[in-house]
Amino acid sequence: MDFQALSPELVLAFEHIVGVEYVLTAQRTEAAAYADYGRDHTEDLHFAPEVVLRPADAEQISRIVRLCHENHVPVTARGAGTGLSGGALPIHHGVVLSTERLNRIIQIDERNLQATVEPGVINEVFQNAVKEVGLFYPPDPASKGSCFLGGNLAHSSGGPKAVKYGTTRDYVLNLQVVLPTGEIIWTAANTLKNSTGYNLTQLMVGSEGTLGIITQVVFRLLPYPQHNILMLVPFRQVEQAAEAVSAVFRAGIIPSGMEFMEREAIAWSSDYLKIPLTLPEDIRAHLLIELDGQDLDELYKEAEQVYGVLEKYDVGEILLADNATQKDELWKIRRNIGNSVRYNSVYKEEDTVVPRAELPTLLKGVKEIGARYGFKSVCYGHAGDGNLHVNIIRGDLDDEMWDVGLRQPITEIFELCVRLGGTISGEHGIGLVQKGYIGIALQETNLNLMRGIKGVFDPHGIMNPGKIF
Amino acid sequence: MDFQALSPELVLAFEHIVGVEYVLTAQRTEAAAYADYGRDHTEDLHFAPEVVLRPADAEQISRIVRLCHENHVPVTARGAGTGLSGGALPIHHGVVLSTERLNRIIQIDERNLQATVEPGVINEVFQNAVKEVGLFYPPDPASKGSCFLGGNLAHSSGGPKAVKYGTTRDYVLNLQVVLPTGEIIWTAANTLKNSTGYNLTQLMVGSEGTLGIITQVVFRLLPYPQHNILMLVPFRQVEQAAEAVSAVFRAGIIPSGMEFMEREAIAWSSDYLKIPLTLPEDIRAHLLIELDGQDLDELYKEAEQVYGVLEKYDVGEILLADNATQKDELWKIRRNIGNSVRYNSVYKEEDTVVPRAELPTLLKGVKEIGARYGFKSVCYGHAGDGNLHVNIIRGDLDDEMWDVGLRQPITEIFELCVRLGGTISGEHGIGLVQKGYIGIALQETNLNLMRGIKGVFDPHGIMNPGKIF
């Protein structure tokens, strides 16, 4: 695609649409604040926007996008910038369109267990708002305290509760979208079921801002589960931890959380948070297992069944969190693994996913590949979903190895995923940094269909160009 | 689209691909058997195929479709023919491609709670096969004893259990598809999560055979729920039955079935089945409520909560089914409403769906419209999903009213659905008979996107032409 540089006339037109105070340029913005709009949480990558726009609503976004469409100017929509695949990076410059002002919870419909929200609402703010009226929005990425629902939609983000409750896409009923041509549509209806034409809703979810900009969402909600039980299970052998995951499900139990953490993952995070945690020398990995429901007695029965399954493995002393503070601390440790790794070193995060029972094989393969190519990895993730986050630590790897040399071992890791029936991203998306590997997961025919769909939605290719494929 | 009539050379080529015994033509097939390939369960519609092919596998289908693509011959894929929107009718004639020989359960993967099957497997056969190893495939349309999984995928069929467990689309991980050009792809990976490119899987599900032919499916499964409780609740006022639905959910209970039946629906079906049922004069509607789970004590607690909710309404004596036979009979009555209506009269079935709490308003509106235009309707359906099947009874309506006059009241019913936040099909699809109404539910922009997607997959427009839009 040939893109046009931004003309001063276009910047004036944007100022007319959104108001001059909501048009940020490098010239008149504090440098650090402006630079933030050119990065996300992916490695140490940065690309400078030509202009940053902070519109108020779908109508303004429609007018902006229409101008960009007519003038062949790239538009990269941006939420909180917590993405891990570079999806929000404006690699072709142009307009960065921040959704931070679209942050209203428009309606919580208690009669229908639904809510209508804007994409700039923080995930946890939304969770708390619906919890106040006894309702439950399950998707909870590690960054839930800062990430936007719009970004969650862009990548179909998951989180620990996905194992029982599914990912973001499982809660979306209907989307208001500004198309790359500026037209505004609703993708579906506010119903639990819909067999009325092609599923544009699920096509938008996970399309990483390449097909349009989501400006409102109707989510379905659940009754809030009143009780939960949390246990931290230490394993002396890493692969046994991975094996135990599958055994719990085969016993008929669906936990609301089933997280795997290598020794380094939990150790780095508890150090980073300064939360003391006893970690005997012989413990190599942990599972964090949560059960939830409406009846505590029932949960204790389930917990006993889980203990029964775990007896078959070489486990250390199981910690059963017995109050809210302890539960919060354990989840805080789990959620901050990524931050603690980032604090220690630059890293590349691979979002591998395989059928659940293949996790031990994947983990073994990752370590074997690391040993062969001489890099260290910290592994953790949503074991119940077969979703393993492999963090490759920069440590003292040189530029050549970091920028080029790692491509071969990463390729081997992804090829292993695909051989095991899996794929290269479970919840982070392809964005920029996994784009070079997508051919491992998808045939050229699939990619051509996707390119064709992209062309239908975005004939000038202006919407988040250079991502996914 | 301009289509070509089938040449004798093409029929010979098909015989070469699938074997002469699997190529049916009108000349050499018993007339009634041949005619069956030209109808489904939609009203009394019939369209004659030029040829019926019964291929054995994806490879044969690919070769057939490639020939049709090159020769501009329509291909209409067909499962068991139990569809209610005319999706399987070969309205442009050409090839009817029956999937009846693709009927293998290829693998039940107990380690990963997954199964790989072909589209010609009967829904109930699959359910029973996975149940034997303690696993659960929830989607259960009323026609589960005869309908194929392929047809379920085409329309994203639901059934009573959708209220707790979702519809067909919620169980699909990966699809093998023969594209309209003859290419064979897998849409995704065998994983519970996937953020790797656009969601082609969910685009295929519900596309009613217009984007390709599904030749294998990977479904996720659940542990089989060991216990259930079933209760039949009679209401003296129809709208109270609809109101009680929403109240149960707001009490934090998610039933595994929540079915609404008007008096006529349950009366006609029990008569048709010759199952005696006491039906006091003052009872106007019933709810059939099922609870399921792994623990019977827990279910009794939930049932008590349901009784607590129902106390607020003017209900008759609640029947708590206390053995398997009684449960089977109640479900049989529910599932045979459609058959009993068909037995009594030709009918048009509208698959209306609204947000759950709007059901009383919808029902009232349907009856009011019926009274105004002079037709009788029998209403029943999946109340927990807001999905109401409105059966318009032909009775003694004349041809003019049946063929033309009903368009206006049906339009008004659908407009009411959309005003209430709903849409025109929840689980039956648009197919042929709802096509004329799709503009009520979808903006022209949405339809243009769908047409564009269709063009990407099917440049010659051969795949089930004339359906949806």
How does pLDDT run across B239-250, given as a tens digit for each residue?
899 889 989 998
- Does any CB of chain A come closer than 8 Å to the CB of residue B441? yes
* pLDDT digits 0-9 by tens, B191-224: 999 999 999 999 999 999 999 999 999 999 999 9
Domain B345-428 belongs in CATH node 3.30.70.2740: yes
Q: What mean pLDDT is predicted for residues B401-427?
A: 97
Q: Decide: helix, strand or coil at residue B256.
A: coil
pLDDT of residue A188: 98
CATH code assigned to B105-223? 3.30.465.10
Per-residue model confidence as pLDDT tens digits over B96-134? 999 999 999 999 999 999 999 999 999 999 999 999 999
Q: In CATH terms, are A105-223 and A345-429 the same topology?
A: no
Mutate to test the interface with B, among A191, A444, A469 (most CBs of B within 10 A): A191
Architecture of the domain spanning A345-429 = 2-Layer Sandwich (3.30)
Torsion of CA B111, B114, B117, B120, to 10 degrees: 140
Q: Is B220 on the interface with A (CB under 8 A)?
A: no
Tokens, residue B451: 């047409």
Token pair for A206: 């996970």
Instruction: Output the six-digit token pair for A151.
Output: 């970004």
Q: Is A431 on the interface with B (CB under 8 A)?
A: no
Q: What is the pLDDT of residue A1?
A: 64
Residue A361 touches partner B, C-beta closer than 8 Å: no
Tell me which residue in A250, A418, A426 faces B193 most closely, judged by beta carbons.
A426
Q: What topology does CATH give the domain B227-338? A: Alpha-Beta Plaits (3.30.70)
- Distance, in Å, from the CA atom of B211 to the CA atom of B174, rounded to the nearest integer, reads 16
Residue B193 is nearest to which of A188, A200, A385, comparing CB atoms?
A385
Q: pLDDT: is A408 or B242 the higher one?
A: A408
Which stretches within B311-458 are classed as H helix?
324-335, 337-344, 359-373, 399-400, 407-419, 438-441, 444-457
Query: From CA A183, how far away is CA A66, in angstroms rounded?
Result: 8
Each domain of chain A, given as residue ranges in start order, spans 105-223, 227-338, 345-429
| pLDDT tens per residue, range A429-450 | 999 999 999 999 999 999 999 9
The b-or-e profile of A371-398 (16+ CB within 10 A means b, else e) is eebebbbbbbbbbbbbbbbbbbbbeebe
Interchain contact, B252 vs A294, CB within 8 Å:
yes
Is the Cβ–Cβ distance between A191 and B352 less than 8 Å?
A: no
DSSP state of B225: P
The sheet that has B213-220: what strands, in order across it? B105-109, B114-117, B213-220, B172-178, B184-186
Which of A61, A44, A131, A144 lies closest to A96 in space, CA to CA? A61
Q: What is the pLDDT of chain B when averaged over all its residues? A: 96
B196 contacts in chain A (CB < 8 Å): 423-425, 430, 438, 441-442
Mean pLDDT of B391-401: 94
Distance, in Å, from the CA atom of A29 to the CA atom of A13, rounded to the nearest integer, reads 19
pLDDT digits (tens, 9 = 90+) for B58-107: 999 999 999 999 999 999 999 999 999 999 999 999 999 999 999 999 99
Residue of B110, B112, B385 with shortest CB distance to A193: B385
Q: Which residues contact A67 (CB under 8 A, 6 or more apart)?
A: A10, A13, A14, A73
In chain B, which among 281-320 make CB contacts under 8 A with chain A?
294-295, 298, 301
In the structure, what pLDDT confidence band is assigned to residue A322 with cuts at 50, 70 and 90? confident
Residues of A in contact with B424 (CB under 8 A): 196
HSE, side-chain direction, 13 A CA sphere, residue B160: 25
Handedness of CA A168, A169, A173, A177 (dihedral sign): positive
Q: Kindly report the number of other CB atoms within 10 A of residue B328's CB atom.
A: 12
